[in-house]
Amino acid sequence: MTLFNPASLSPQAIITSARAKLLALRNDLEAISDFYNWLSAQSDGDLTGLGFTVDDLQVLRSGVADAHALVQLYVSGTLPGTYTLPYAFGTSQGRVIGPQ
């Protein structure tokens, strides 16, 4: 797969593409952080009352917490104290979203 059409390759095209991708990354990380904060404020009882099983809720919380740890790494350059590298952040997220 070719990333760019060589006929239209220019510094401006590359910068435009990079800016769009980096902005999307930043926006997605902010959305993850917002969702993590919302989910953290919800009690297990409230969420099981909506129909979540205890097991599904644990999977959801784990995947979102791991995604939020990546947000913290992006923002501060450090991971929360419960994480040590190497760590497969995608494992818990894969349990929520399914295989790639």
Helix (H, G, I), strand (E, B) or coil at 62: helix
Residue 90 domain-assigned (yes or no): yes
Percent of the chain with pLDDT over 70: 92
Residue 38 domain-assigned (yes or no): yes
Residue 53 domain-assigned (yes or no): yes
CA distance 60 to 72: 18
pLDDT band at 10, cuts 50/70/90? confident
pLDDT band at 1, cuts 50/70/90? very low
pLDDT band at 4, cuts 50/70/90? low
Average of pLDDT values for 54-80?
Answer: 96
CA distance 8 to 48: 53
Residue 69 domain-assigned (yes or no): yes
CA distance 60 to 66: 10
Residue 42 domain-assigned (yes or no): yes
Residue 2 domain-assigned (yes or no): no
Domain count, the chain: 1
Residue span of the structural domain in which 61 resides: 11-97
Residue 4 domain-assigned (yes or no): no
pLDDT tens digits, residue range 68-95?
999 999 999 999 988 999 999 999 999 9
For the chain, how long is the longest CA-to-CA vector? 58
Integer-rounded Cα radius of gyration of the chain: 18
Q: How many Cα neighbours within 13 Å face the side chain of 23?
A: 6
pTM: 0.84
